[in-house]
Amino acid sequence: MSILINRKSRVLVQGITGHEGSFHTQQMFSYGTNVVAGVTPGKGGEWVLDGKIPVFDSVKVAVEATGADVSVIFVPARFAPDAIFEAADAGIGLIFCITEGIPIQDMMRVTRYLEQKQVRLIGPNCPGALTPGESKVGIIPGNIALPGSVGVVSRSGTLTYEVLYALKMKGVGVSTCVGIGGDPVRGTDFIDVLSLFEADPYTEAIVLIGEIGGNDEERAAEYIARHVTKPVIGFVAGRSAPPGKRMGHAGAIIEGGAGTADRKIAALEAAGVRIAQHPEQVAELVAPYLGR
Amino acid sequence: MNLHEYQSKQIFARFGIPIPRGKVALNSNEVKHIAEELGGKVVIKSQVLVGGRGKAGGIRLARSPEEAEELATLILGMEIKGLPVRKVLVDEAVSIERELYLGITNDRTARCPVMMASAEGGVDIEEIARRSPEKIIKVYIDPLIGLRDYQSRDLAVAMDLPREYWKTFTGIAEGLWRVYTAHDATLVEINPLVITADKRMLALDGKMSIDDNALFRHPDLAEMRDPDVEAPAEVEARKYGLSYIKLEGEIGCMVNGAGLAMATMDIIKLHGGEPANFLDIGGGAGADKVAAALRIILSDPKVRVVLINIFGGITRCDEVARGILSALSEVKPKVPMVIRLVGTNAEEGRRMLADAHMITAETLVEAAQKAVAVSKGDLIYEHLD
C-alpha cells in the first residue's frame, strides 16, 4: 500500500549518534521502521537504543553487515554532501537527506553524480517519507496520519503535517507521504513522485503541496495533464509573499516575476487539479474521490 | 547576499579578468586625489546594492579632478531607492566600441550552472530576456567537469565576436567560471563587458551574489555583507537563526516551518487581514529562540495582534510555551495574542499558557479569523494587565 518505503525497507541512519539523528532514530524505531544500522565515523562498534542498533564507521561496512537498502542522513550541512556520495558509492539505492542548508553548488555536483549512478535521492532539506502503519524514514510525526489511499507529495515540512492532520481529522488515510524538500536543487521532484503514485494500485488520489519559487509546480501540471489519470488536489503556499524575498526555504523566492503562487495555481488548475484555499480544505476536496 | 560592484571587480581582477583602473573613496576629497592619480576623465559610481543607479543619477562622468570632487559631493549625499550612498568607485573613463553581457547563474530546472552571453550588453539581462530572449545565448556547464574552452568559443561565435578577441574572451569566461566556483556564487555577472576603442576587453561593471548556505566556508565574504539592505529586525533575527521578513500589515505571525508560515500569512489575507511579517522559528526551536522571535515581532509598532501557529513535530509545544512566557514577562506586550498549538506536547503547552490570557484556537482557520477580527477591532479582548 505504498511507494518508496514499506515495512521491509532496511534503514540505515547516517549521523545516528548526533543530536537529531539519535532522537529521530528512536522515533522511527518506535513507529516500527526497520532500522538496521547507523553510521558515525569514529564510533564503529558502539550500539544505540539499548543495544538494538549497531553503529559502523562507514556505510560500506554497514551495508555489508546488515544489508541496509535505504539511508537517511542527519549529518550537518558541511558534511552532508560527502555522506550522500558515501551512501551512493556503497550501493544504497534510495537516500533521504533531511539536512538543511547544503550549498547549492554542492548539490549540483551531487545530483549530477547520482544521475550517472542511478541512485534516487529525496531532499535535501526535507522531512522524509511516511507510509502510515508501516514505516517512516525521516522526521514526519507518525501519529498524525492514518493508513489509507491518498498519496501526498510536498515541498514543505510542517505544512505537510498540517495537511496530514487535516486528512486524519476527516478520517482520510494516506498511502505514502513524501516530502521532496524546499531547496532549489534537489534529487527527486514532483514528477518522479507523481509517476510513482500513478503506478501504485493502492493510491486512489494525490495531494500535491507546492510553494512559491522555481517552476516545479508548472512542470508538474504539464505532467499531470498528460500522464496522471488519478484525481489530484493541490495547495500552493505563498500567495501573500512579496517578490525578491527568500521565504525561509532556500528555494522559495519569486524572481523576476517568475515563481508566483498565482501562476502555479493557474497552471495546476488548467491541468485539472482542484486547488484548496487553505490546508484544512484539502481534506474536504479529496474525500469525495475516495472509495469509488 | 550580494556584493558591491567594487568588491566583485576586485575579485574578478584576482582571477585574471581585466577591469578598469580605479579606487574606492568615502569622501569627495579622496575622489579628487584618485581622479588626479588616474589622470584625465573618470567615472564616479555610487556603491549601493540596487539596480538603476545610472538612471537615479548615481553614475556620472567627470572631465577633471575638480569636477570629480563636485560630483562626488553630490553623489555621496544621495539616497538611491532608500539606500544611502556611503562609498563611490572612481574608475578611469574608457571609450567604448562594443558592449557585451557575460554571466553565470544556477539553473534550478537543469540542476547545473548556465553561462549566458549576449551581444547586447549594458542593459538589464531580464530586460533582454523579456524583449528578445533569442539574443541571450546559453551554455550549460557540467558541474563535475567545469566550463570547457569550446563552450566559451561557441559563445564568442554566436555573439559575432571577431576572431582576434576569442582568446581574450575565453580567458575571461574561464576566469568568471573560477570566480563562480571559488566563491560559491549563485550569480556572477559582467555587464557590460566592453571592447574599448584601443581594442581592450574590460569588465566595466560587476555583480556577484553569494549562496548564504555556503558562507560557513567563506568568512571573508560574510564580512562584506552590507547591513544597509536589511531591516534591523531582520539582522537581529538572523543572529538567533530565525527567518524573519518584515511586511506592511498589522498581524504579527510566529510559525514553525517556512511552508506553514507562508500558508498562515495566506490564510490571514484570505480572511481580510494583513500579515505584519513572515517568521519561521525553524525546527526544534527552544524557549530562548521563541522569546527572541516574539520580541522581534513586537518591535514593529504597527503590530496590533500576534498570531502564533505551532505544529509540533521536532518543535515541542511546551518549549514554545516556555519561550512565550519568558518573553511575556520581559516585554509586557500591549497587544493581544491568538495561539494555536497542535502536535508534540500540545496539551502541556496549552496548560502552561492557560493563565497567560491568550486567545486560543483549535484550527488554522479559526486562529486566522480571530486574529483578523482583533486587528480590525471587531473582537475586543481585555486581559492585558
pLDDT at B60 over 70: yes
DSSP secondary structure letter of residue A50: T
C-alpha distance from residue B353 to each of A28, B283, B325 (Å)? 30, 21, 7
- Our CA dihedral for B49, B52, B55, B60, rounded to 10 degrees, sits at 40
Beta strand A47-48 with A53-56: parallel, antiparallel or unpaired? antiparallel
Q: In whole angstroms, what is the distance from residue A282 CA to residue B384 CA?
A: 36
Helix H segments across chain B? Answer: 5-14, 28-38, 65-76, 125-131, 149-158, 166-182, 219-222, 232-239, 258-270, 287-298, 317-331, 346-352, 364-375
CB contact under 8 A, B143 and A112: yes
Which amino acid type is present at position A65? A
* Per-residue model confidence (pLDDT) at position A251: 85
What percent of chain B is predicted at pLDDT more than 90? 73
| Confidence band for A166, pLDDT divided at 50, 70 and 90 | very high
* Per-residue model confidence (pLDDT) at position B345: 86
- Our CA dihedral for A156, B2, B236, B317, rounded to 10 degrees, sits at 10
- Reported residue count of chain B is 385
* Contact in structure between A215 and A174 (CB atoms under 8 Å): no
| Confidence band for B344, pLDDT divided at 50, 70 and 90 | confident
**Cβ-Cβ contacts under 8 Å, B212 against chain A:** 250
A16 touching B (Cβ < 8 Å): no
* Per-residue model confidence (pLDDT) at position B381: 66
- Reported residue count of chain A is 292
CB contact under 8 A, B108 and A161: no
Residue from B255, B260, B308, B345 to probe the interface with A (highest A Cβ count within 10 Å): B260
* Per-residue model confidence (pLDDT) at position B336: 92
DSSP secondary structure letter of residue A123: -
Query: DSSP labels for A225-267?
Result: HHH--S-EEEEEE-TTPPTT---SSTT---BTTBS-HHHHHHH
Q: In whole angstroms, what is the distance from residue A201 CA to residue A175 CA?
A: 10
Under 8 Å CB-to-CB from B82, ≥6 apart: which residues?
A: none
Closest residue to B344, CB basis, from A77, A141, A155: A141
Residue A226: count of CB within 10 angstroms of its CB = 8
| Confidence band for A292, pLDDT divided at 50, 70 and 90 | low
Which amino acid type is present at position B195? I
User: Under DSSP, is residue B81 helix (H, G, I), strand (E, B) or coil?
Assistant: coil
**Average pLDDT for A166-171:** 95
Task: Report the gap between the CA of A230 and the closest CA in chain B (Å).
Answer: 25
Task: Report the gap between the CA of A181 and the closest CA in chain B (Å).
Answer: 10
Query: DSSP labels for B239-279?
Result: HTT-EEEE-SSSEEEEESSHHHHHHHHHHHHHTT--BSEEE
**pLDDT tens string A182-210:** 999 999 999 999 999 999 999 999 999 99
Q: How far apart are the first and last CA of chain A?
A: 17
**Average pLDDT for A232-253:** 91
**pLDDT tens string B194-242:** 999 999 999 999 999 999 999 999 999 999 998 888 888 888 898 898 9
CB contact under 8 A, A105 and B143: yes
CB contact under 8 A, B258 and A252: yes
Give the A window 47-86 contacts with B, CB below 8 Å. Answer: 77-78
**Cβ-Cβ contacts under 8 Å, B364 against chain A:** 162, 278-280
CB contact under 8 A, A248 and B262: yes
Task: Report the gap between the CA of B74 and the closest CA in chain A (Å).
Answer: 30
Task: Report the gap between the CA of A203 and the closest CA in chain B (Å).
Answer: 25
User: Under DSSP, is residue A151 helix (H, G, I), strand (E, B) or coil?
Assistant: strand
Report ipTM for this prediction.
Answer: 0.92
What percent of chain A is predicted at pLDDT more than 70? 99
Closest residue to B108, CB basis, from A185, A238, A247: A185
* Contact in structure between A38 and A13 (CB atoms under 8 Å): yes
Residue with cell 549529518: A75
Q: By CB neighbour count within 10 A (0-12 exposed, 13-18 middle, 19+ buried), where does B4 fall?
A: buried
Closest residue to A103, CB basis, from B184, B262, B263: B184
Under 8 Å CB-to-CB from B251, ≥6 apart: which residues?
A: B268, B273, B274, B275, B276, B303, B304, B305, B306, B307, B371, B372, B375
Q: Which residues of B are catalytic?
A: 101, 189
**Cβ-Cβ contacts under 8 Å, A78 against chain B:** 216-217
* Per-residue model confidence (pLDDT) at position B385: 40
pLDDT at B371 over 90: yes
Q: In whole angstroms, what is the distance from residue A57 CA to residue A41 CA?
A: 4
Across all residues in chain B, what is the average pLDDT? 92
**Average pLDDT for A108-119:** 95
Across the A/B interface, how many CB contacts are shorter than 8 Å? 169
Greater confidence, B241 or A228? Answer: A228
Task: Report the gap between the CA of A252 and the closest CA in chain B (Å).
Answer: 9
A211 touching B (Cβ < 8 Å): yes
**Cβ-Cβ contacts under 8 Å, B145 against chain A:** none
A250 touching B (Cβ < 8 Å): yes
Q: In whole angstroms, what is the distance from residue B268 CA to residue B372 CA?
A: 7
A30 touching B (Cβ < 8 Å): no
CB contact under 8 A, A214 and B113: no
Q: By CB neighbour count within 10 A (0-12 exposed, 13-18 middle, 19+ buried), where does A201 fall?
A: exposed
**Average pLDDT for B75-95:** 94
Q: What is the pTM of this model?
A: 0.93
For residue B112, what are the β-bridge partners? B107
Q: Dihedral sign, CA of B362, B364, B370, B375?
A: positive
A112 touching B (Cβ < 8 Å): yes
* Per-residue model confidence (pLDDT) at position B188: 97
Under 8 Å CB-to-CB from A115, ≥6 apart: which residues?
A: none
**pLDDT tens string B319-340:** 889 888 888 888 788 899 999 9
Q: In whole angstroms, what is the distance from residue A29 CA to residue B60 CA?
A: 67
In whole angstroms, what separates CA B235 from the centre of its chain?
Answer: 12
**Cβ-Cβ contacts under 8 Å, B275 against chain A:** 240
Q: In whole angstroms, what is the distance from residue B205 CA to residue B203 CA?
A: 6
* Contact in structure between A84 and A30 (CB atoms under 8 Å): no
Q: In whole angstroms, what is the distance from residue A234 CA to residue A211 CA?
A: 10
In whole angstroms, what separates CA A75 from the centre of its chain?
Answer: 17
